[in-house]
């Protein structure tokens, strides 16, 4: 029965966007991070990212896979260009913790990725934008 299905809630796992110095290109670049603020490692992690604009334009769909993301750690996922900030940006995260499968879609509404919306990020202890 539907009432017997338990959908686990994702807690203390985040997708964040922050600006950081790229020494190869000597520029400030926007980077997407996966943050694991739990006490358990995340296993078989998959992240799919895409963007959609109101006028029908879409970004490419990017997919990333990681065998393990250690507890209380963060990994760099991808570069994100400022040109897609006016889009609805989605990051679909799926992973196992123990034998339980977790799934969550993180979204950044159009034009919300901005330094004025920065907060202190868990684990990284840097300023960045935390997706909801």
Q: 88 — alpha (psi -120 to 50), left (phi > 0) or beta?
A: beta
18-31 residue pLDDT tens: 999 988 888 999 99
Give the domain 2-130 fold. Immunoglobulin-like (2.60.40)
Q: Residue with structure tokens 């000597």?
A: 26
Residue 3 dihedral angles phi and psi, to the nearest 5°: -70, -20
> What is the domain partition of the chain in residue ranges?
2-130
- Consecutive H or E run containing 113: none
Q: Dump pLDDT digits (tens) for 48-87.
A: 999 999 999 999 999 999 999 999 999 999 999 999 999 9
């Amino acid at each position: 029965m539907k009432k017997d299905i338990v959908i686990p809630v994702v807690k203390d796992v985040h997708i964040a966007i922050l600006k950081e110095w790229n020494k190869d290109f000597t520029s400030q670049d926007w980077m997407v991070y996966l943050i694991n603020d739990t006490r358990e490692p995340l296993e078989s992690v998959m992240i799919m990212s895409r963007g959609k604009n109101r006028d029908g334009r879409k970004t490419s769909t990017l997919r990333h896979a990681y065998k393990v993301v250690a507890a209380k750690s963060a990994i760099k996922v991808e570069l994100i260009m400022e040109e897609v900030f006016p889009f609805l940006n989605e990051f679909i995260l799926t992973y196992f913790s123990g034998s339980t499968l977790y799934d969550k879609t993180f979204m950044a509404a159009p034009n919300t990725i901005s330094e004025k919306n920065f907060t202190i990020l868990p684990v990284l202890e840097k300023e960045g934008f935390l997706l909801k």
